[in-house]
A and B are shown apart, each in its own frame.
Chain A
Amino acid sequence: MASDVVTLWDINIRHLPESPERRTIDNHSQQTNADLRELGAIASERFGEDVPGCETSRGFLLEAELAAEEIERIAHRLLADTVIETVDVTQIDRREVPANTITVLPKPGVMDPVAQSARQAIATLGIAVESVRTYRRYLFPANASAKLLEFVAPRVLANEAIEQVVFGELSAEHLALGSSYTFERVVVPISTMDDAALERLSREGQLFLNLTEMRAIRDHFVEQNREPTDIELETIAQTWSEHCSHKTLRGPYTYEGEPGEGGLLKDTVFKVTKDLDLDWCVSVFEDNAGIIRFDDDWNICFKVETHNHPSAIEPYGGANTGLGGVIRDILGTGQGAKPICNTDVFCFASPDYAYEDLPDGVIHPARVMRGVVSGVRDYGNRMGIPTVNGAVCFDERYLGNPLVFCGTVGLLPKERSFKSPKPGDLIVALGGRTGRDGIHGATFSSGELHTESESVSGGAVQIGNAITQKKLMDVLLVARDRDLFHAVTDCGAGGFSSAVGEMGETIGAHVTLDSASLKYEGLSYTEIWISEAQERMVLAVPSDNWGELRELCESEDVEALVLGTFEEGGQLLLTYQGETVGELSMKFLHDGRPNIVHHGKSSRTPPAPLEVPSDVKPGKALHGILGSLNVRSKEWIIRQYDFEVQGSSVVKPLVGESEDGPSDAAVIAPVPGSTKGVAVGCGINPRLADADCYAMAASVIDEAIRNIVAVGGDPDRCALLDNFCWGNTERPEVFGTICEAAFACRDIAKGYGTPFISGKDSLHNEFQTPDGPIVIPPTLLISAMAIVHDVRHAVTMDLKKNGNNLILVGLTRDELGGSHFNLVTGATGGTAPTVDTTVGRSIFEAVHRAIGEGMVRSCHDLSEGGLAVAVAEMAFAGELGAAIDLADVPTSEKMDAMTILFSESNTRFLLEVPQEKTDRLLKLFGDLPIAVIGQVTEAKELSVRGAGGEVLRESIAQLKQSWQQPLK
C-alpha cells in the first residue's frame, strides 16, 4: 500500500437488543422500520414485492494513520456506549460489504456538527485525525431488488437535498469536502441585453427579479459606463429580494381601484403604532425586533420569523435554522438582547394524508411535521431557551408548502436598546465559519415552490449548529456589557451581503472577502459574500477594542475576525486578493429599486345562509371538535420542548390537575428575584379566511389579546406582531385579501390601543403541480406579548373548586361562518365572527382588573368550538364537572342552543369565580354583557341545559379522551 494513501477507518455502531437489564430502545431502527411499513402498500403495488425491514446502524468515518490501540480506544471508549451498543472497526477497501448495504452521509459541504465535535473529542484523548464524517447505515435482505431500494432510499432513508445515498462500498470521493478555488473576476455583459436576455439572466442566475427591476439594473450600469460583476448583481438581488426589502407590502398599491397613501403596511400596521404614540414603545419596525419597556432597568423585544420554503424541502434543517435565525434576530436587537423564550406555530396538511395521492416532490406531511418539530426542539433546547407557546393548524392546502413560524422574546438592558456603527469601526464577523450552505436563500424564498425545487435549490437549505450559536451568544452578551462594540446585527438571509449592507447603509463599507474564515476550500468570492451559513453575527467594533474582543472570543473558542471597515463615502467596496470585485453605491442599492404597483381586487361576498345537516347532535359535535386536528391536545409536541429551562415559567403551556390542559398563553418571570412578568400568546385561524379575510384578521388579533388577558397580561401594555403568509400576491384577488387583512389590523389594533411593533411577511406560498398551483389559505399569525405586573396574580384555565360560579363575559352572536362546528358537522355558510372594539376594550380591561384583584380562580377564552369547547377544556383540565344553563347566556338575538354552544363570537371569556366574590365582580363589569351561567360540580360530567331542557350531558373523562387522541 502506498504510504501517501491515508487509511479510511469505518467505526460502525449498532444498538444491542433490549433485555431485562437493558430496557432501551433503538429509536433509529424503530422509526425507519415504521416508515418502511407505511410505504409498504404503494411500493408493493409498483414493484410487485413487499418492502422488507432493515437493520440500522450509525457510524463514523475517520481519515487517519492510527495504531490498533488508538482506534480501539476511540471506538470503544469514546464513540460507542458499550453498555448499550456494540462496535465494529474496519478499513474501507479491505473488507467485504454485504449486498444491499446503503450508507447515508451528508453531501459534501453540508454541515456535520457531530463530526466536528467527534474530532474535538478524539483530540481530548491526545489522538489526532485528519477528518471525521458521520453516517447512518441500512442493511436490507439480499433478495430485495435494486429498483425497490432506489425507490425507498430517498423517501425513507435520506433527504437528497442534503444527504448522499451510497449503495455498497464507500470510496474517498464520497468524503471529499471542497476543491481549491482559482480566483477569476466574473463580469456579466448586461448593457447589451434585451428583455428576453434579462429575464433569462434573472431566472438562470436565481436572482428572482422581475423585468422592470432587471432593466433598472441594466440602466444603472449603462449610466456608469461599465458592466457589473457577478457579485454586484447578487448583492442587488439579495437586497431587492422580497425577503429582504418586502417590496410588495411596502410598495405602492391600489385596492378596488383606490390608490393607497403609502405602502400597504405603512398605511395600516405602521400607522396604528404611529397614531397611538405610546411612551412604552421603545423601538418599532426599525431594529431586528420590536422593543417595549419592561421595568426601570430592562426592555423586552419580540420577533417572529417564518422559514417556510426551507422547511418544505428539508423539514428538520429548515425549522432548525428558522428558530436559529430568529434567535439571532434577538441577539442582534439593540446591542444584543438575551433570549428568554421561544414560540412556535406550524401549519401542515393532515398527517393522515394518503401516500398514494402525494404529488411528486412533496414530503409526506407526517414526516414534515416530525422533522419540523424535531428541528425546532433541537435548536431551542440546545440554546437553553424555553419554548412556551405555540399552535398547530391543519389544512390540506399546506401540503407542498408548510408554514413554520418561530418567535423569540429577548431581555435587553434599557441603555443598550439602540446602536449605530461609526465610520472607522472594524467590521467583525463572529461565530460560525462560512460555507456553501444556504446560497440563494433570500431570493429562493421569494419565489414559488415546484416539483424540482429540491434539486434546483437544495443549496438553499442550511443546517444549524445550536452550540456554535450558544457559544456566540455567551461571548456577545459579555462583550455588550463590557461596551466592546457600537453595533451588531445578525447574518440571516443574504449572509454578509445583507448584514454589512444594512449596517453600512448610511456610512459605506469596505469588505475584504478573502479574510472570511471558511469551512472548506473552494468558495468563490461571491459565494463567501452571499452564503447563508448559520450562526454568524456582524459587529461594528472600534479598533481600540478589537484586541480585547478577540481575546474574549478566543477564551471561549469562538471565532472572530476582521472582515473590513465601515468607511465614509456611501460606497460598498468589495475586494478579493487585493482586486476590486464589486463597487456599488449604497444609495442605488437601498433606494434604486423601481417600485412595482400591486393591485388588489375585493372578492368579499355576502355570507351564505347557514345550513346545518339535520342529524347533528351537540354531544357528537363537541367530541368531534375536541378531536379535530387543530383543537386536539398538542402534548406530544409541547413536552419535547424544554419549557422549564431558565427557571422562569409561571404559567406553563400545560396546566391543570394532571398538567395536561391547554393553557391560553404563557407567563414567564424573566428577571430572577422579580415578580414582574411577560405574557406571551398568539392568534391564528386560517379557516375564517375562506369566509372573510377581514373577519379572519380581526378575529385573530382579538384572539391573541384574549389569550394574553386570560392569564393576567395587561391589555393596556400589550404589543402585537404580524406575520402575513399568503399566496402569489401578483394576482389581484390574492393581493385583495391581504389588503383586507391589513385593513383589519389597522382598525382593530387602533380600537384596542395595541400597537404593532414588528412583523414579517412571506408571500408566494404556493406549490406548483402539473394540475395547477396549490395555494395556501391566507394565513395571518398575530403574536402578542404583554406585561404582567405581578406574576403571583396570574391565572390558569383549569377549574379549581366545586361550587364556584361559572361566569360568561361577552356577547354571543349568530357567528358560525368558518367555525369548527361547520368543519366537523359538514354545516356550511354562516356569518364569520366580527369584533366590536368599543365593548371589547372595556371587557379586556374589566377582566384584567378582576384578575388583578384576585376575584378569578380560572379563566379561559372562547375560541374554536366556542362555549362548548371552553367549558369542556376547563372541566377536564381541572378534573371537575360543570353544569351550565344556556338560557342565561347574553346573546345578540334569540338563537338556538347549538348556535349558543358553538358560535365563535369574539371577545368572550369564561370565568370561575367563588360565590362570595361574584357580586363584586358583576358590579365591576357594570353594563357589559356578563352572566352567571352555571357552577363547577363535583360530578365529573358536563351538563348543559337549554330552553327546552337538557342539551347535552357528557362524561369529562370521555371528552378528555376525544381531545387526547394522539397527534402523531
Chain B
Amino acid sequence: MATVNVLVLRSPGANCDEETAHAFQLAGANTDQIHVNRLLDEPTTLEKYQILCVPGGFSYGDDVSAGRILGSLLEHKLGDLLKAFRDRDRLILGICNGFQVLIKSGLLDTQDDSGKLLATLAFNRHGRFETRWVHLRMRPGCCAFVTEDEILEMPIAHAEGNFVVESRSFLDSLTESGRMIATYVDNEGKSGDFPVNPNGSAGDVAGICDKTGRVFALMPHPERHVIPTQHPRWTRRGDQPTEGDGLRLFRNAVAFFG
C-alpha cells in the first residue's frame, strides 16, 4: 500500500493539530502540520496529500462565531482548490472546530442553490462549554470514513456544537441521502436528552458528510481516544483493549486509499 499523506491544517488558534497528527500516524499515515498561510501562499502545496484535516481548536479565536473566519478564508480564497481536491477522490475531515469551519465554508453542502444557509452549529443548548464523553452511533451511509454500523466512545469539548437546521425537511434530507453519519446515543444505542445528546443538536447530529461522502465533519474528538488509558473508565475495566475507539476513523480514512 502506498503511503498516505495527511495535511493537518494549522491556523491561528488551532490547538489539536499535534494529537490529530499523532492519531493519523498511529493509523499508518505520514503527516505534516501546515499553517493555512502556507496554503494561501502556495496552493499547490496541497497536491501531494490524500487527506486534508481541519483539526480542533479556536481558529482565529472563534471571535465572530465559531469557525467563521477560517471558514470564510477557505470559502473565498481556497474554495475552488478544495472542491477540486474533493473531486479528485481525496478526503477532507473536520473535527470539532474543523466541523464549525467546514460548515461555514460551504464544503459540507449545507446551503441551498441560492447560497442560503440551511444549517449551522449554534451555542450548546444549556449555554455552556461542555467537556463530556459521549457514545456515538456511526452509520456508514455514503461516508468514506465510516465502514460499519457501530457505537464508538469519544469526548466532546465545545461551546458551539448544537446542530441547528433551518427546516425539518433539510434534516430529513440528510437522513435520506445517507449523510447523517454520527448521532449521539446512550450506551445501548438509544437516543435521549441531555446528557446523552450533550448540546441539543437537532436529530442528535454529531457528524455529517457532504453529498460526495468524502468531506466528513464531527464535533466529538476521535483523536482523543486512540489508546486505552484515555478512556474515562479504563481503571474500572478488567482487560484493556489494544486501542481506543477513535482510531477506527483514522484507519478507515487511510484504508480508503489502499
Chain A positions near chain B (C-beta within 8 angstroms):
20-25, 27, 30-31, 78-79, 81-84, 113-114, 116-118, 120-121, 124-126, 377, 381-384, 465-467, 470-471, 474, 555-557, 638-647, 649-652, 654-657, 659, 669, 672-673, 675, 791-792, 794-796, 798, 800, 858, 878
Contact = CB atoms under 8 A, between A and B. Distances in A.
B51 interface: no
B60 A467 contact: yes
A281 B125 CA distance: 48
A657 B233 CA distance: 7
Contacts of A644: 131, 155, 157, 221, 224, 230
Nearest to B157: A642
Interface stretch (B81-89, B136-144, B161-169, B207-215): B161-169
Contacts of A118: 63-64
Nearest to B237: A800
Given A23-B162, A78-B68, A83-B119, A466 B61 contact: yes
B129 A25 contact: no
Given A21-B168, A31-B127, A796-B235, 15 more contacts: A23-B162, A24-B162, A25-B125, A83-B117, A114-B61, A117-B63, A118-B63, A118-B64, A121-B60, A382-B62, A384-B57, A640-B128, A645-B224, A650-B229, A659-B233
Indicate the member of A20, A24, A638, A792 with the most B CB atoms within 10 Å.
A24
B127 A124 contact: no
B202 interface: yes
A23 B202 contact: yes
Given A24-B162, A557-B12, A117 B120 contact: no
B58 A382 contact: yes
Nearest to B74: A124
B64 A117 contact: yes
Given A120-B69, A672-B22, A81 B120 contact: yes
Contacts, number: 191
Given A644-B224, A669-B229, A791-B229, A377 B129 contact: yes
A675 B132 CA distance: 24
B122 interface: yes
Nearest to A799: B236
Contact of B223 (A82, A638, A647): A647
Given A27-B123, A113-B63, A644-B155, A21 B133 contact: no
A558 to B, nearest CB: 9
Contacts of A641: 129, 131
A121 B16 contact: no
Contacts of A795: 235
12 contacts: A78-B64, A83-B117, A83-B120, A467-B12, A467-B60, A470-B13, A471-B12, A639-B128, A647-B230, A656-B236, A792-B229, A794-B235
Nearest to A798: B236
Contacts of B64: 78-79, 114, 117-118, 121
Interface range on chain B (Cβ under 8 Å from partner): 35 or more
Interface of B: 10, 12-13, 15-16, 18-19, 22-23, 35, 37-38, 56-58, 60-65, 68-69, 72-73, 76-77, 116-120, 122-123, 125-133, 155, 157, 162, 164-168, 171, 200, 202, 221, 223-224, 226, 229-230, 232-233, 235-236, 240
A920 to B, nearest CB: 20
B15 A25 contact: no
Nearest to A20: B168
Nearest to B223: A647
B232 A659 contact: yes
A563 to B, nearest CB: 23
Contacts of B63: 113-114, 116-118, 121, 467
Contacts of B221: 644
Indicate the member of B73, B77, B157 with the most A CB atoms within 10 Å.
B157
Top 7 A-B pairs ranked by shortest CB distance? A384-B15, A117-B63, A647-B19, A467-B61, A83-B120, A642-B157, A467-B13
Nearest to B198: A639
Contacts of B127: 25, 27, 30-31
A595 to B, nearest CB: 46
Contacts of A20: 168
A647 B229 CA distance: 10
B132 A639 contact: yes
Contacts of A22: 164
A78 B37 contact: no
Given A83-B166, A124-B72, A645 B15 contact: yes
Given A117-B69, A467-B12, A652 B60 contact: no
Contact of B15 (A383, A465, A791): A383
Contact of B61 (A465, A652, A792): A465
Nearest to B244: A647
Nearest to A638: B131
Contact of A23 (B119, B164, B226): B164
A78 B72 contact: yes
Contacts of A673: 22
B202 A645 contact: no
A120 B70 CA distance: 10
Indicate the member of B35, B61, B72 with the most A CB atoms within 10 Å.
B61
Contacts of B230: 644, 647, 649-650
Contacts of A675: 229
B79 to A, nearest CB: 11
Nearest to B155: A644
Contacts of B232: 652, 654-655, 659
A672 B19 contact: yes
Contacts of A84: 120, 122, 164
B180 to A, nearest CB: 16
A21 B130 contact: no
Nearest to A659: B232
B62 to A, nearest CB: 8
Contacts of A116: 63
Contacts of B18: 646, 672
B202 A21 contact: yes
A555 to B, nearest CB: 6
A120 B120 CA distance: 22
A587 B133 CA distance: 56
B256 to A, nearest CB: 23
A639 B130 contact: yes
Contacts of B202: 21, 23
Contacts of A384: 15-16, 57-58
A471 B12 CA distance: 6
Contacts of B235: 651, 655, 794-796, 798, 800, 858
B237 to A, nearest CB: 10
Given A23-B162, A121-B69, A647 B15 contact: no
Given A82-B117, A672-B22, A659 B133 contact: yes
Contacts of A654: 232
Contacts of B77: 124
A642 B165 contact: no
A20 B164 CA distance: 10
A81 B122 contact: yes
A113 B230 CA distance: 34
B60 A117 contact: yes
A467 B58 contact: yes
B22 A124 contact: no
Contact of B60 (A78, A120, A125, A659): A120
A642 B22 CA distance: 19
B80 to A, nearest CB: 15
Contacts of A798: 235-236
A126 B73 CA distance: 11
Indicate the member of A79, A641, A646 with the most B CB atoms within 10 Å.
A646
Contacts of A800: 235-236
A84 B118 CA distance: 10
Contacts of A466: 13, 58, 61
B157 A113 contact: no
A377 B158 CA distance: 11
Indicate the member of B12, B37, B132 with the most A CB atoms within 10 Å.
B12
A709 B58 CA distance: 35
